[in-house]
């Protein structure tokens, strides 16, 4: 049963935003940002707080993904690509999926309560964004940007968990996530362009066509890459960071070489594998910069 729900929420895809949540957390516990509650006496990382941040990520994403599957059930039944998913195929009932959403949402709010007041007070706002995304495709082609906004809460949210305050550097990484996720979600949506048109659903590919959608995706990823470079310069980072930034930007460019207007066969490779590797490696080199400098 657990395996079915992990499949429902595509738990392995947590790898997209989770590394940036880790980045936000350690920005709050290490220079160049002030030390705060993320460190205990003697400079040790507060691992209990770190665990709460990770649990918030897991519960929020699980709620959002399950809600998306629940809300899209009507369309998933009609789409050849998605009709085998857990809800339309009957593996998980619609009612059980909604109960799963409610449970994860409550657990997310409970975890924020044990972090600090500002995270607790903002938790309903975060949930409204990540759950509300599921309906945006009904009325706006900017749905990809709403998804980007939802995942962009990861670095600033985990930074707030440590410090209780906003700072420019974690906000910059939130913008990196915003443009990065929005760009690769446009690529992913290319698979359903014809289906979305038939169902009067909206997306960038539906509005602009395949070629122009890919061009816009490249622009968004160019902005994300520029922000990664600017953040490194702003923070005064050194070799490890720039190695990670180079890998991240190279993988952004690589995925655009995989997907062409007349050949979408490698969309999944670009979406899942390339972006997952990019996120993990960037976070790894960021941590090396924090701890080995």
Q: Say yes or no to pLDDT of 29 above 60.
A: yes
Please compute, for residue 52, the number of CA atoms within 13 A of its CA located in the half-sphere on the CB side: 21
Tokens for 2? 């657990």
- According to DSSP, the residues that pair with 39 across neighbouring strands are 45
Crossing angle for the helix pair 117-136 and 47-71, to the nearest 10 degrees = 20
**Whole-number pLDDT of residue 115:** 97
φ and ψ of 260, to 5 deg: -125, 155
283-293 pLDDT, tens per residue? 999 999 988 86
**What does the alpha-carbon distance between residue 144 and residue 62 come to, in Å, rounded to a whole number?**
18
φ, ψ at 45 (rounded to 5°):
-65, 140
- Quote the pLDDT of residue 9: 66
Higher pLDDT, 8 or 98: 98
| Euclidean distance between CA atoms 207 and 217, whole angstroms | 13
Mean pLDDT of 120-133: 96
Let me know: does 33 contact 88? Beta carbons within 8 Å. Answer: no
Q: Does 244 have pLDDT greater than 70?
A: yes
More confident residue, 274 or 114: 114
Task: Report pLDDT for 15.
Answer: 73
Residues 195-205, mean pLDDT to the nearest whole number = 96
Query: Picking from 56-60, 210-214, 255-259, 278-282, which range would have the lowest pLDDT averaged per residue?
Result: 255-259
Please determine, for residue 58, whether its predicted confidence score (pLDDT) is greater than 70. yes
* pLDDT at 262 exceeding the cut of 90: no
Does residue 38 surpass a pLDDT of 60?
A: no
> What stretches of the chain show up as alpha helix (H) in DSSP?
2-8, 18-29, 47-71, 73-78, 94-113, 117-136, 143-163, 168-189, 193-198, 204-208, 210-235, 239-258, 267-268, 275-292
Please say if the pLDDT value at position 203 is more than 80.
Answer: yes
pLDDT in tens, 164-190: 999 999 999 999 999 999 999 999 999
pLDDT at 264 over 80: yes
pLDDT at position 147? 95
Between the ranges 2-6, 14-18, 134-138, where is the mean pLDDT highest?
134-138
Q: What is the spatial distance between Cα 75 and Cα 198, in angstroms, rounded to a whole number?
A: 11
Q: What is the DSSP string of 84-148?
A: TSTTTTTSS-HHHHHHHHHHHHHHHHHHHHTT-HHHHHHHHHHHHHHHHHHHHTTT-TTHHHHHH
Distance, CA of 170 to CA of 165 (rounded, Å): 10
pLDDT value for 39:
45
Positive or negative, the Cα torsion across 275, 278, 282, 284? positive
What pTM value is reported for the model? 0.92
Entry field: residues in the chain: 293
Domain 2-292 in CATH: superfamily? UbiA prenyltransferase (1.10.357.140)
End-to-end CA distance of the chain: give it in Å, rounded: 45
Q: Stretch 78-87: mean pLDDT, rounded?
A: 91
Could you tell me if 63 and 108 are in contact, meaning their C-beta atoms sit under 8 angstroms apart? yes
Of residues 20 and 268, more confidence is placed in 20
For residue 34, what is the DSSP state?
P
Kindly provide the b/e burial profile for residues 190-202, where b requires at least 16 CB atoms within 10 angstroms of the residue's own CB. Answer: bbbbebbeebebb
23 compared with 45, residue with greater pLDDT? 23
The pLDDT value given to residue 291: 85
């Amino acid at each position: 049963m657990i395996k079915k729900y992990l499949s429902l929420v595509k738990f392995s895809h947590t790898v997209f935003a989770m590394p940036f949540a880790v980045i936000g957390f350690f920005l709050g516990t290490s220079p160049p940002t002030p030390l705060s509650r993320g460190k205990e006496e003697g400079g040790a990382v507060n691992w209990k707080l770190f665990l709460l941040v990770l649990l918030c990520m897991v519960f929020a994403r699980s709620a959002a993904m399950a809600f998306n599957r629940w809300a899209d059930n009507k369309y998933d039944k009609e789409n050849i690509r998605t009709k085998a998913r857990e809800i339309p195929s009957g593996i998980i009932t619609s009612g059980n999926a909604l109960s799963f959403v409610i449970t994860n949402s409550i657990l997310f709010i409970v975890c924020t309560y044990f972090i600090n007041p500002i995270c607790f007070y903002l938790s309903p706002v975060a949930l409204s964004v990540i759950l509300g995304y599921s309906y945006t495709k009904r009325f706006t082609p900017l749905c990809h940007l709403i998804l980007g906004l939802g995942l962009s809460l990861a670095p600033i949210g985990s930074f707030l968990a440590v410090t209780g305050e906003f700072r420019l550097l974690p906000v910059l990484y939130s913008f990196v996530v915003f443009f990065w996720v929005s760009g690769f979600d446009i690529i992913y949506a290319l698979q359903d362009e014809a289906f979305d048109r038939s169902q009067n659903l909206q997306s960038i590919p539906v509005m602009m066509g395949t070629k122009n959608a890919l061009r816009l995706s490249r622009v968004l990823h160019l902005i994300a890459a520029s922000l990664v470079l600017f953040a490194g310069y702003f923070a005064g980072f050194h070799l490890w960071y720039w190695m990670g930034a180079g890998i991240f930007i190279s993988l952004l460019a690589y995925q655009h070489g995989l997907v062409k207007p007349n050949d979408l066969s490698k969309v999944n490779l670009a979406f899942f594998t390339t972006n997952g590797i990019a996120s993990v490696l960037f976070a790894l080199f960021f941590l090396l910069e924090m701890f080995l400098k």
